Amino acid sequence: MRQLLASLLFAAAACAGAAETTVPARAAGSAYAPEGSAPPPRAARVEAATVWRAPAVDQLATIRQRGQLRVGIVPVVPMVMRTPDGDWAGYSIDLARRLAADLGVAVSFVPTTWPDVVPDLLTQQYDIIATGLWVTVPRALVMNFTTPTAIEDVLLVASRRGAPGLKSVADANRAGLTVAVGAGTAEVALAGRLLPRATLLKLDSDPLAAIVAGKAQLALLPTLSARALEQVAGESVYLPLAQPLASAQAAMAIRKGDPDFLNFLNTWLSLQRQQGWLDERLVHWSLNPEPR
């Protein structure tokens, strides 16, 4: 009995001693943090002001209620062209007409220019751009692109009379030559980089027409195929290079803030691609670029 009592008193004393043991204080700036202790205070992170999205418009429902799809276009071979009777024809025109038919609405084409094609979309002059518009980072910051509808090459075109015998970019990069490009297009920067010595002529109209009219000896033109461009250009011009200067993805574009409309368009394009219709239209307009 005495031995049991002594054991209990010894255990109680040991527990009391443990309770009185103090945890060493952490020195300022030390990385040591005793288990269970509160983390050190941190400075508040400074955040930029929150940007709230404006109330979204259901563009797909609006188009169907209106009964009309408004499409922004810029003339460019073989995407958008005028027929002899004044109608619109081309690869992008075919896309827009089939899209409107599947939506069960009419289609209205709204002509614009390369410098204005994006601003006009943002100010609601039309619902969608379908004109072989190139996908670029600056454009993607202000509007949404669909999945690509085509891959276009940029070709160097030269006048047989004004710039004969060119065989390289170096031959074309010289003073005394004028290179025509579409204003507001990616070809402006491309010409400035590859042909800095030539005079740059930025046009709202077709750059190829500037060569035919004698206003330029060179032009940078996007196209689905070299054959298509040669058929349209005629004998007054030639292609100095066997390879394109650049390639880029073309796509349709809509205003930001409507993921449902974008998802529908991408689904629609995927179905047209699976059915072979997109490829059939690409081949058709590559080999038969003349509007009829």
pLDDT tens by residue, 72-129? 999 888 899 999 999 999 999 999 999 999 999 999 999 999 889 999 999 999 999 9
Separation of alpha carbons 113 and 233, rounded Å: 21
Helix axes 91-103, 259-274, angle to 10 degrees: 110
Q: What is the pLDDT of residue 217?
A: 95
The closest alpha carbon to 152, from 27, 244, 279, belongs to: 244
CA 248-136-88 angle, 5° bins: 65
pLDDT of residue 4 exceeding 50, the answer is no
Q: pLDDT confidence of 228, banded at 50, 70, 90?
A: low
8 Å CB contact between 161 and 263: no
Q: What is the pLDDT of residue 3?
A: 53
Q: Is the pLDDT of residue 5 over 50?
A: no
- Section 256-267 average pLDDT: 96
Q: State what percent of residues in the chain have pLDDT above 70.
A: 83
- 208 residue type, one letter: L
What's the CA dihedral at 22, 23, 24, 27 to 10 degrees? -140
CA angle 243, 94, 289 (to 5 degrees): 40
- Greatest CA separation for the chain: 125
What the block records as the tokens of 145 is 């692109």
Please state, in angstroms and rounded to a whole number, the distance separating the CA atoms of residues 292 and 231.
14
Return the percentage of the chain with pLDDT > 90, whole number.
58
DSSP letter at 198 equals S
pLDDT of res. 202: 94
Mean pLDDT of the chain: 85
Please report, in angstroms and rounded to a whole number, the separation of the first and last CA atoms in the chain.
118
Cβ proximity of 188 and 200 under 8 Å: yes
User: Which of 107, 100, 112 has the alpha carbon at shortest distance from 72?
Assistant: 112
pLDDT category at 146 given cuts 50, 70, 90 is very high
Which pLDDT score, from 0 to 100, does residue 55 have?
Answer: 78
Tell which wins on pLDDT, 205 or 163. 163
Which domains are assigned to the chain? 59-151+249-287 (3.40.190.10), 152-247 (3.40.190.10)
State the average pLDDT over residues 229-233: 70
Work out the pLDDT band at 137, boundaries 50, 70, 90. Answer: very high
Least confident of 7-21, 33-47, 232-246, 276-290: 7-21
Tell which residue, 266, 273, 270, has the closest CA to residue 145. Answer: 266
15-64 pLDDT, tens digit per residue, is: 455 444 454 555 444 455 556 666 777 777 777 788 887 778 899 999 99
